[in-house]
Amino acid sequence: MRVLGADVWDGRWVGVVLDDGDDSVDDVVGGRVEAHTAADVRALVAAAQRGGPLAVVGLDVPIGLAERGHRAADLEARRVLGARRSSVFVTPVRAALEAGSHAEAVVISREATGAGVSVQAYGLRAKVLEVDAWVRERSGVEAPRVVEVHPEVAFGRLAALRAGDADGCHPLADRKKSWAGAARRRALLAAAGVVVPDEMGEAGRAAVDDVLDAAVVAWVARRVGLGAARPLPDPPQVTPDGWPAAIWS
């Protein structure tokens, strides 16, 4: 099975491809690990597909936008992460993301949700809308399947599985930008068979935490392909645009 996991890095994308040729239900991946970078999601997927067809694409970006209220996926992810809930920003409603300024987005969001929009959330609008447009263009296209993944939820899920807890999420205590946090995340990935290579070409210029995030998103993408992943919420919330919005792990 060949899958892609991707994370936003410095206005671009960094992606990790897992290609193990094995469709068995097994968290140990093995096989080839590739890395790619691209300015937009279409180019990233195209680059990854040059090595073979992709079964699943996982993206660390909200997919499926609300018109009013907050997405259940964001609220559920914050709940399971507990003390690490701040790593999940609440996705602004579509109209707020399409606003021409942060100030305008805040006004729109307060009317639609009762709360404003953080500068960080608004700052990701370009990539959120880029993915939204791409997903809409792909309406009716079955392969590759595209899913939303949040790296901290994914690492928590991976940690739980390695601890023998098949149903839990064990959020990691160390922040991903710390040395201890990066070491812990890389060790968890390696234990699951995802060995991130030291030499990754252009992708090697990306921040360590972005590469590790892309890798764990790819791990979840493989779980989705195997039918082993679970959505938050379960079942997914169908947004007004018809997309089953959920964060998978």
Domain containing residue 197: CATH number: 3.30.420
Is 74 part of any domain?
no
Q: DSSP code of 85? A: G
β-pair type (2-9, 12-19)? antiparallel
What is residue 20's predicted lDDT score, i.e. its pLDDT?
84
Is 246 part of any domain?
no
What is residue 138's predicted lDDT score, i.e. its pLDDT?
87
What is residue 28's predicted lDDT score, i.e. its pLDDT?
62
Is 83 part of any domain?
no
Is 192 part of any domain?
yes
Residue range(s) defining the domain that contains residue 27? 2-62+137-232
**Whether residue 39 is found in the same domain as residue 101:** no
**Whether residue 142 is found in the same domain as residue 57:** yes
What is residue 123's predicted lDDT score, i.e. its pLDDT?
92
**Whether residue 102 is found in the same domain as residue 163:** no
Beta strands in the chain (DSSP E): 2-9, 12-19, 32-38, 56-59, 145-148, 231-238, 244-248
**Whether residue 38 is found in the same domain as residue 106:** no
Predicted TM-score (pTM) of the model is 0.95
What is residue 60's predicted lDDT score, i.e. its pLDDT?
98
**Whether residue 116 is found in the same domain as residue 159:** no
**Whether residue 153 is found in the same domain as residue 38:** yes
Is 85 part of any domain?
no
**Whether residue 12 is found in the same domain as residue 43:** yes
Is 245 part of any domain?
no
**Whether residue 13 is found in the same domain as residue 115:** no
What span, in angstroms and rounded, lies between the C-alpha atoms of 5 and 165?
A: 24
Q: Show the low-confidence residues of the chain (pLDDT under 50).
A: none
**Whether residue 110 is found in the same domain as residue 7:** no
**Whether residue 106 is found in the same domain as residue 228:** no
What is residue 224's predicted lDDT score, i.e. its pLDDT?
97
What is residue 29's predicted lDDT score, i.e. its pLDDT?
66
Q: How many structural domains does the chain have? A: 2
Is 76 part of any domain?
no
